[in-house]
Structure 1
Amino acid sequence: MSRLRAALFPPPNHGSTDQSLGSSFGLTVVAILVQGLSRFGYSILVGRLMGKEALGEVNLVLSLAVFLVLLWPQASGTAAAKFVAMARGRQDPDEHLAAASFTARSAAVGAAVLGAAGAAFTAAVLGLSWGYAVSSGLLVLSLSAYNYTRGLRAGNNQFVTTALWDCISSFTTLSLLLLVLLAGWHWVLLLPLITGYTVFALPAWRRRSRARLAPGRRREILVFTAWGSAHLLAASGLLHLSVVIGRTYDSEEALGLYAAAVSLATPASMLSGAMMTALSPSVARMFAAGHTDELSRQVDAILRTMVTVFLPVFGVGILWAGPVLHVVYGPEWQAAEPLLVILFFAVSATSFNAANARLNGTESWGIKVLAASNGVGLAVGIATILVLGPELGIRASAVGYLVGSLLSALLPLLFVWRLDRLRWGGVLLRILAGYAMVLAGLALLGGEFRVLPALGVTAAFLSIWLLLCARDVRPLLGSLAARLGRARG
């Protein structure tokens, strides 16, 4: 019990070293997988038991809340992860505690303002019931606290703690959701999610510290948070805006189909999100300690690993999009298949994000490059939705998200490739070859899904991909074999 208590309620970590990136990544995968499955289960239960319109309303409020959190609180969590990790790299416990306290206050102020705005917007503009309006405001508050404390724990290198609290939070969320559905309390459908996020956040929230940050450091954190908000808004806001804008061009049923596609496509990005979460504090600590050569080698290795592992995951998802929809939601949701295919392509483009960690965690201007790159993607994506919306309806939202995602992913990668003189030409060619194989597979399979041809195309795709990635697969297998050997020993 004492070990469990220490894992659940650890003190601030002032150490200047981190656990291995592999361990951090594995624990983050567990944490994000559990939380992602909770959100996924939410969509399945609501969609199965209450239908397309209810799922559309729930995801509309959730998309609004996530979008508002991007405006400041989530970037406060990113700032906590960076500046706490940098204080650890400089071995400065006072700055460590002061940075955690200052970012907590920053996140709290932003959450309060945005929570009130969310409740008002839900009632006055979206025209939903008062239950949804109140839930919207509370969801902004709880989701803000969740994102901030997740960043703080990452900065402290407390990945075991994060995984444990994600499991507790997810269990709480789904248990309460079942009670709400069985009781028929449809007006509080979002309350279980709000409670789960709150349970995760409360034990880690930083209280006021006696240590004070220098005015220059406070200004640096606020500037970073502002630019980080612009970056996150541009990078992640497009998906949530596509839901809100798409509602103006199509029916509630079509919005429900799009919500189902979003719920299936976004969990596939959990692995890359886990890698980004595990990598970013390590990058910031190495940069603060002056280990720039090691930093470049790690960013290069991580990109190669992401491409090798994640592209085939999305490729298989694209080839089997129809059966996935049929199994998860049922045959009446089959019309969402084209939307899911487009979203899989879009989300896969954002998954090769090692360059983002390099820019986010090092020089102060790096976050500005990310914000500008993602701003271009956001503007072009929204313009695409607005132009194509009258003709394509909800499908324009998926196409706009795809176009914006491609730009947002490509520009930072090209910048870091040029900046650090990395050998990424072959990696980019491999990405293009992978996408070309997936498109060729879709063309061969045609409009009607058949199991045996799909199995053959999938096996051929994975075999060719393994040959293309043989140079990067061998080190991965060697590292895995070494870990297994140490575990047995």
Structure 2
Amino acid sequence: MSRLRSILFPPPNHANTDNPLGSAFALTVVAVFVQGLSRFGYSVLVGNLLGQEALADVNLTISLALFLVLLWPQASGTAASKFIAMARGRQDPDAQAATASFTATSASAGMALLSVSAVLYAAFVLELPGAYTVSAGLLVLSLSAYNFVRGVRTGNNQFVTTTAWDTISSFLTLTLLLLVLLAGWHWVLLLPLITGYAVYALPAWPRRSRARLDPAQRREILVFTAWGSAHLVAATGLMQLSLVIGDGFATKAEVGLYAAAVSLATPASMLSGAMLTALSPSVARMYAAGDTGGLTRQVDTILRTMVTVFLPVFGVGALWAEPVLRLVYFGDPDFVDAEPLLVLLFLAVSATSFNAANARLNGTEPWGIKVLAAANGLGLAVGVCTMLLLGPELGIVASAVGYLVGSLISAVLPLLVVWRLDRMRWGGIVLRIVVGYGLVLAGLQVLGPQFRLLPALAVTAVFLAVWAGLSARDLRPMVRAVGGRFRR
């Protein structure tokens, strides 16, 4: 019992150490996977039981909340993660407590204002029913708290705790959702998700600290949070914004199709933000401790690990998009029409997952977050313009194309900056990324519009075999590490 209590309610960690990269990486993947199940469950259950229009309303509400949270609360969590880790690197427990308390106050102010904004926007712009309008405000509060507390926990290097609470939160959300659907209480359809996020956040909300940060430190945190908000809105808000923009030039049924594709891609897109929050503290701690060599090696390892693991995952997802939709939506032929949308979203999300450069810029020099904000701002602007220009001709497909274009710009520019800044030897890994995407596109061309099982199996096997051969240098250490853990 004491072991479980220490996992669920650990004290602040003051040690100037981090989990091994592989452990942090694996735990973050598990945490995002189990939390993504709750969002995935909403799409499966609501889409299958209530239809496309109900799914469109639910996902519009969720997308609105996800977008508004990016405007301050989630960046407050990222700030907490970075500056708590830097305080650990300096071995300053008082600064850790004061940072957690100050960022919690900052996040609370943003949460309150944005929750009211969500209610007003849902009521008067999206014209959603009253229950969804109230739920939008409550969801902003609970989702803000969730993202902030995730930052506090990762700043304290509490990855096991984060994964445990993500599991509890997801299980509770899905259980309550089933009860709501069985009881026919559709007016509280989003309450299970709101409750799950709140249960995750409340046990670890920072208490007020007696220690105080000096004005210069508070100003630095607020400036970082402001730039971080701009970066997050541009980097991860584009997917949610694409759904809202698509609602302006598509029918409700088409928006429902896009919502189905977004709901499958969103858990994957969550991985990018979670990885940035999870991996930046180790970079920030090394930077604060003056370990320049370790920092450079860590960033290089992060990029190689992410490319090696995630490109084939998203590539296979794109190749098998149609059967995934059939499986999730119980063979409903209407949802299968979302296949080209899901392919484009998988390709876009994969680009945002190679964010080692983001961790480097986010966790070190103060100007790094400004570079991220500028790069992602450009991606957002180009992506939105693409949607608006192509919308009248392509309909809802324009939203997916715009998201892909914006994501590629947002991913490439920070990579080029860090490549040049730290003189990284990334020529081979970038070439491998290009070849990997080429293989996926060639596979899609071979398979054609009609899915056939045997050709799909053959194309997938060839793709994975070629990728394994190209990635052998980076794959061997991972296999040895995993094998060593199983032999213990």
TM-score, normalised to structure 2's length?
Answer: 0.98
Unpaired runs of at least 5, structure 2:
none
| Greater alpha carbon shift after TM alignment, 23-32 vs 159-168 | 23-32
- Tell me the alpha carbon deviations over residues 63-117 of structure 1, each in whole angstroms, 9 at most, x when there is no partner: 0011000000000000000000000100011111000000000000000000001
Q: Structure 1 residue 260 and structure 2 residue 257: aligned? A: no
CA distance in 1, matches of 2:145, 2:305: 31
1:301 Cα deviation (Å)? 1.2
- 1:398 corresponds to: 400
CA distance in 2, matches of 1:271, 1:227: 21
- 1:220 corresponds to: 220
- 1:302 corresponds to: 302
CA distance in 2, matches of 1:204, 1:378: 33
Q: Structure 1 residue 57 and structure 2 residue 57: aligned? A: yes
- Contact 2:78/2:277 (CA < 8 Å) preserved in 1? no
Identity %: 73
- Contact 1:29/1:270 (CA < 8 Å) preserved in 2? no
- 1:131 corresponds to: 131
Cα 1:444–1:275 change in 2 (3 A) is: same
Q: Structure 1 residue 315 and structure 2 residue 315: aligned? A: yes
Q: Structure 1 residue 79 and structure 2 residue 54: aligned? A: no
1:266 Cα deviation (Å)? 2.6
- Tell me the alpha carbon deviations over residues 393-423 of structure 1, each in whole angstroms, 9 at most, x when there is no partner: 1110000000000000000000000000001
| Greater alpha carbon shift after TM alignment, 105-114 vs 301-310 | 301-310
- 2:28 corresponds to: 28
CA distance in 2, matches of 1:440, 1:144: 41
Q: How does 1:216-295 map to 2 (within 5 A)?
A: 216-269=216-269, 272-295=272-295
Local SS of the residue matching 2:195: helix
- 1:185 corresponds to: 185
1:274 Cα deviation (Å)? 5.0
1:268 Cα deviation (Å)? 3.2
Measured on the aligned residues, the alpha-carbon RMSD in Å equals: 1.1
Of the three residues 465, 483, 486, the one matched with 1:484 is: 486
1:272 Cα deviation (Å)? 5.0
1:478 Cα deviation (Å)? 2.4
Cα 1:185–1:116 change in 2 (3 A) is: same
CA distance in 2, matches of 1:463, 1:8: 41
- 2:170 corresponds to: 170
1:269 Cα deviation (Å)? 4.3
- 1:426 corresponds to: 428
Q: How does 1:288-437 map to 2 (within 5 A)?
A: 288-329=288-329, 330-332=331-333, 333-437=335-439
1:275 Cα deviation (Å)? 3.9
- Contact 1:272/1:310 (CA < 8 Å) preserved in 2? no
- 2:15 corresponds to: 15
Q: How does 1:436-475 map to 2 (within 5 A)?
A: 436-475=438-477
- 1:68 corresponds to: 68
1:448 Cα deviation (Å)? 1.3
- Tell me the alpha carbon deviations over residues 345-402 of structure 1, each in whole angstroms, 9 at most, x when there is no partner: 1111111110000000000000000000000000000000000011111110000000
Local SS of the residue matching 2:178: helix
1:24 Cα deviation (Å)? 1.8
Cα 1:140–1:264 change in 2 (3 A) is: same
- Contact 1:28/1:277 (CA < 8 Å) preserved in 2? no
Letter paired with 1:335: D
CA distance in 2, matches of 1:272, 1:208: 31
CA distance in 2, matches of 1:8, 1:482: 27
Cα 1:268–1:236 change in 2 (3 A) is: closer
- Tell me the alpha carbon deviations over residues 325-356 of structure 1, each in whole angstroms, 9 at most, x when there is no partner: 11111232111011011111111111111000
Cα 1:142–1:271 change in 2 (3 A) is: closer
Letter paired with 1:24: A
